[in-house]
Structure 1
Amino acid sequence: MLTTEYTGKVLAELKRTVDLIDNAEAERIVEGILQAKKVFVAGGGRSGFMAKSFVMRMMHVGLDPYVVGETVTPNLESEDIFIVGSGSGETQSLVTMTEKARSIGATVVAVTINPESTIGKLANIRIEIPAQAKSDGTSGKSIQPMGSLFEQSLLLFFDSIILRFMERKGLSSDTMYGRHANLE
């Protein structure tokens, strides 16, 4: 198969997957971000890279976002929102963080393949991305290896949250560019 044919199949998988995301729950995330004092985002592995790109865009729209685990990340408080991306919803380090965020009283958001997972059950808001788990290469949900479909869908979902936030706040790309890094 040609590379462009694979790309077409991947795009079709992404469309099928993101079309199944619950818009009402997604809107609750936007509302939670609008109401939060600070935004904390966590994820492991490739999901963590998607989380970092989401934090970067939130900074561009003027929010006060943080990647959990970075040395400049402040303490989480009850007025904050904690968003965790975890395909399995069972990654132990993320479970521990989610339990802590919940005990503090922050709004907890789980973006996961498995909303009935430990992290999903701890969350106030659950977004299910019905993708293939990285350990389930025989599900037929994806031609891609491991958790690629979830990770790509996570990035698209996070970018869509940013677009909805921009719409709600009347922001444009030009406004955001003024906050882009200038020490590159």
Structure 2
Amino acid sequence: MPDERDAGRVPGLMTARDYTQLVAREICDALSQTDEQQVETLLDMIEAANNIFVGGAGRSLMMMKAFAMRLMHIGLNAYVVGETITPAVIEGDLLIAGSGSGQTKMTLALVEAAAARGARTAVITGHPDSPLGQTAHHCLHLHAPVVFVNSARPTRQPPGTLFEQSLLAQCDAMILMLMHRRGTTEEHIRRRHTKFE
């Protein structure tokens, strides 16, 4: 495969397949560094919660919405913060926030509000030392940072993209793990899937 660093100097050097493989490789590299215990702890929190709320901003919120949808499909009570049908968060519930930077003020406010009402909180972020990473009860660190130190970029993609891709992939992997834990089958999911299509 051509070196992607040369692609900017030689137009057309990389093919569509090359770029697709580049993206897939970056996601695999990022997720290969995820701490297994951090994942297991978050799964324990999900299974212990009465209701699961997800939140975030921008594309991170889109990925969290996809996660909430799958949580519902496997039989859990999952809601998206800000939607009109979302109930009040109370003790015994869990809020999971996604934020690449860990600094998004609106998302930080959600975590603080949930904790103030007695709910447990977790954040999935590329920056565990950020305000969100330090405020939530639990932090799942994805090695796909949005803010780069000393210009060290682990990605050739636009800022934030690798985190958002890794967030969706990690959440989908956690759904598979929850299915295994709970004995959920494809038939269970099919029964809960929308019938309005």
Query: Same-fold call, TM > 0.5?
Result: yes
Aligned residue number for residue 152 of structure 1: 165
Aligned residue number for residue 33 of structure 1: 46
| Cα distance, 1:123 vs structure 2 | 1.2
Per-residue CA shift, 1:135-179, capped at 9, x if unaligned? 88x432101111110000000111111111100000112210110
Structure 1 pair 135/17, CA: closer, same or farther in 2 (3 Å)? closer
**Cα distance in 2 for residues equivalent to 1:10 and 1:139:** 17
Secondary structure of 1:178's counterpart equals helix
Secondary structure of 2:92's counterpart equals coil
Secondary structure of 2:139's counterpart equals strand
**2:139 partner amino acid:** R
Aligned residue number for residue 111 of structure 1: 124
Is 2:20 the partner of 1:43? no
Is 2:135 the partner of 1:140? no
Match of 1:70 among 51, 70, 83: 83
**Cα distance in 2 for residues equivalent to 1:132 and 1:61:** 30
Conservation of the 8 A alpha-carbon contact between 1:135 and 1:146: no
Matches within 5 A, 1:64-103: 64-103=77-116
**1:67 partner amino acid:** V
Deviates more, 1:103-112 or 1:67-76: 103-112
Structure 1 pair 134/44, CA: closer, same or farther in 2 (3 Å)? farther
Conservation of the 8 A alpha-carbon contact between 1:134 and 1:145: no
Deviates more, 1:100-109 or 1:162-171: 100-109
Unmatched 5+ residue regions in structure 2? 1-13
Secondary structure of 1:83's counterpart equals strand
Per-residue CA shift, 1:84-134, capped at 9, x if unaligned? 000011111111111111212211111001111111111111111111316
Aligned residue number for residue 6 of structure 2: none
Conservation of the 8 A alpha-carbon contact between 1:88 and 1:117: yes
**Cα distance in 2 for residues equivalent to 1:157 and 1:27:** 12
State how many pairs are aligned: 184
Unmatched 5+ residue regions in structure 1? none
Per-residue CA shift, 1:12-65, capped at 9, x if unaligned? 111110011111011111111111000000011110110010010011001110
TM-score w.r.t. the length of structure 2 is: 0.90
**Cα distance in 1 for residues equivalent to 2:63 and 2:169:** 9
**1:68 partner amino acid:** V
Is 2:194 the partner of 1:181? yes
Aligned residue number for residue 7 of structure 2: none
Conservation of the 8 A alpha-carbon contact between 1:132 and 1:139: no
| Cα distance, 1:4 vs structure 2 | 0.5
Aligned residue number for residue 19 of structure 2: 6
User: Cα RMSD (Å) of the superposition?
Assistant: 1.5
How many percent identity over aligned positions? Answer: 38
- Find the structure with the greater CA-based Rg: 2
Conservation of the 8 A alpha-carbon contact between 2:91 and 2:118: yes
